[in-house]
Structure 1
Amino acid sequence: MRLTEQNVKELIIETSMKKAVFVYFYMDAPECEATTVALKKAISDDNEFIALAEANVQDKVSQAIAMQLGLQSVPALIVMQQGRPAAALQGDEIVSKLDETIKEYMPSLAELLLKEALELEEKGEIAQAKAKAKAAFAEDEKNNAAKLILARLCIKDKALDEAHTLLDNPGRELSEDQDYKDLISALTLAEQAAESPEIKELERKFKEDENNAQIAVEYAVALSDAGKKAQALEILFNILKKDLSEEKIKKTFLDMLNTMSGDPLQKEYRRKLYTIMY
């Protein structure tokens, strides 16, 4: 976008509060042609994270800004962030350092995955959101924001063991974070719900008659709903190991697995099932 008197405030101040604005100072001259082509090719108008503002110093407004920034020659590139200059390149180094400069202001893969996770969470697609957040955390395990987002999604998805793994041993900095404290409270409440009188009663009945398929299914489903998916799967699998013809057990087992997209337990117990089937 070309810098004009009408949009200078919007581009340099307002837009730079949301994303990096690469302000390119040039003139219609041969020495600027290669740089102009490289910049336009590298930064498209629909780039979500970087904006390109073309400032022809033969225009009064661009000339005035160039003087305020102390520029004495073109081509020159000033990166604006939060309304202030964040980086500067001049002459041939604009092209030679362009890729690395762009990468510096583009989000990392982890950040992009987290963005997708939050969008999916907003739509209520918790299992898919958790899978994206897990991939983001795998990319950058030192990213506390990614860890907390993943933990929150684990709690929402009732994957309480996973949430514990993420939240246990937080370190001093994270333990003082209010979001972390809120998640610990949420996890505690979720675990209390998992110890409901109904589950305790089903546990009692199951221990009295572990070969009763109906009780086993009811108990496993209750455990799964309470976030104890590993325990639920193990109960059903142990019955299938003894008698693979138990269709109700097999169907419940497969239904549980089909709702666990991205969960390592899904792959583990599918492999176990294939082992006894074949």
Structure 2
Amino acid sequence: MSDITVNVIDVNEQNFQQVLLEESTRRLVVVDFWAEWCSHCKVLMPILEKLAEEYNGQILLAKVNADEQQAITAQFGVRSLPTVAIMKDGQPIDGFAGAEPESAIRERLNQHLPAPWEADVKAAMELMQQGQNDQALALLRGAYTVSNEEFAIGLLIAECYLNLKRSKEASEILAAATMEQQLEPKYAELVSRLELMQEAADTPAIVELQQKLASQPDNLALKVELAVQYSQAERVEEALQTIYEVVQKDKNYQDGAARKTMLDILNSLGKGDPLAIQYQRKLFTLMY
């Protein structure tokens, strides 16, 4: 039964060992002991079947007709119907007797299942190891939202931003840490990386252009040059804001070259990047 793909199965003495013992090493097996005459069983079973389909392969609902499979029923010590046993690695780890509401059963299952975002986090970590931080960010942002901003995922997002040399976004994530969270070794490691990056961020060319622009704040040519320098230093948000100010002042500056520069910077960001979406909207509003 190693290739089983079904989510619901009837258990008998022929498949008992495969379903309840072997399959439970691969996923949770929810064993439902029922009988035709049991009214509560008829209330509970549709709920279990619905959850088995909804969890889509994470659990297997194993239905045991207690009247027909008396040996299996006796082996589990079932005294009343319905009775539900939740099995993992060949052993019962949870269960209940009687009909429970769907919310209570769901809560039981979730205690024994990986969090729904864990697969995305695992995939994101593999992408990070391959240097594909943009793709990893897309997965991590979704997991961060669904997990109600789990701190460990936030640290991975900050690490991605640092790998992409986007210190401002990394700083915003790290700044939200509580005092207790700041004790995490990974937090201290990322803060050290951030500080080193920030110290190295002001290249001589950037400093010179900033000084010139301070005395000539309306010089659009200086702003374009500074935006390019910011982009090359991977200070993406500062690059976008600076070039946006140019386009805002003159949509056709340098025959649209400033607008093209802004689009090039936006295109360098990963699909679905919040920063890209923010400035795409700004540019769209400005142009149309």
Same topology, TM > 0.5: yes
Letter in 2 for 1:194: A
Matches of 1:184 and 1:235 in 2, distance apart? 26
Cα 1:114/1:37, change in 2 over 3 Å: closer
Matches of 1:193 and 1:51 in 2, distance apart? 54
The CA deviation string for residues 110-148 of structure 1, in whole angstroms up to 9 with x for no partner, is x53563354255346533542443344344545222322
- State the partner residue of 1:101: 105
Letter in 1 for 2:231: S
Name the TM-score, length of structure 1 as normaliser.
0.72
Matches of 1:83 and 1:205 in 2, distance apart? 68
- State the partner residue of 2:34: 26
Cα 1:41/1:202, change in 2 over 3 Å: closer
Counterparts of 1:69-108 in structure 2 under 5 Å?
A: 71-80=78-87, 85-91=92-98, 93-94=99-100, 97-106=101-110
Q: CA deviation at 1:181?
A: 2.7
- State the partner residue of 1:9: 21
Cα 1:169/1:75, change in 2 over 3 Å: closer
Q: CA deviation at 1:179?
A: 2.6
The answer to whether residue 270 in structure 2 is matched with residue 266 in structure 1 is: no
Unaligned runs of 5+ residues in structure 2 are: 1-8
Matches of 2:70 and 2:168 in 1, distance apart? 63
CA contact (8 A) 2:220 2:246 kept: no
Counterparts of 1:238-257 in structure 2 under 5 Å?
A: 238-245=245-252, 246=254, 247-257=256-266
Cα 1:139/1:8, change in 2 over 3 Å: closer
- State the partner residue of 1:66: 76
The CA deviation string for residues 52-94 of structure 1, in whole angstroms up to 9 with x for no partner, is 2334545476235412xxx312321122357664543323x14
Matches of 2:71 and 2:235 in 1, distance apart? 64
The CA deviation string for residues 23-62 of structure 1, in whole angstroms up to 9 with x for no partner, is 22235x3327624454334313982332323345454762
Any idea what SS the aligned residue of 2:258 has?
Answer: helix
Matches of 2:272 and 2:93 in 1, distance apart? 39
CA contact (8 A) 2:22 2:89 kept: no
How much identity, in percent, do the aligned residues show?
A: 27
Any idea what SS the aligned residue of 1:52 has?
Answer: strand
Name the TM-score, length of structure 2 as normaliser.
0.70
Cα 1:276/1:63, change in 2 over 3 Å: closer
The answer to whether residue 129 in structure 2 is matched with residue 134 in structure 1 is: no
Matches of 2:191 and 2:208 in 1, distance apart? 29
Cα 1:61/1:255, change in 2 over 3 Å: farther
What is the aligned counterpart of 1:230 among 192, 214, 237?
Answer: 237
What is the aligned counterpart of 1:53 among 54, 62, 67?
Answer: 62
Letter in 1 for 2:183: E
CA contact (8 A) 1:117 1:133 kept: yes
Unaligned runs of 5+ residues in structure 1 are: none
The answer to whether residue 162 in structure 2 is matched with residue 155 in structure 1 is: yes
Matches of 1:26 and 1:153 in 2, distance apart? 51
- State the partner residue of 1:164: 171
After superposing the two structures, state which structure 1 stretch, 149-158 or 262-271, moved more: 262-271
Cα 1:129/1:77, change in 2 over 3 Å: same
Cα 1:26/1:273, change in 2 over 3 Å: closer
CA contact (8 A) 2:124 2:140 kept: no
After superposing the two structures, state which structure 1 stretch, 50-59 or 164-173, moved more: 50-59
Any idea what SS the aligned residue of 2:53 has?
Answer: coil
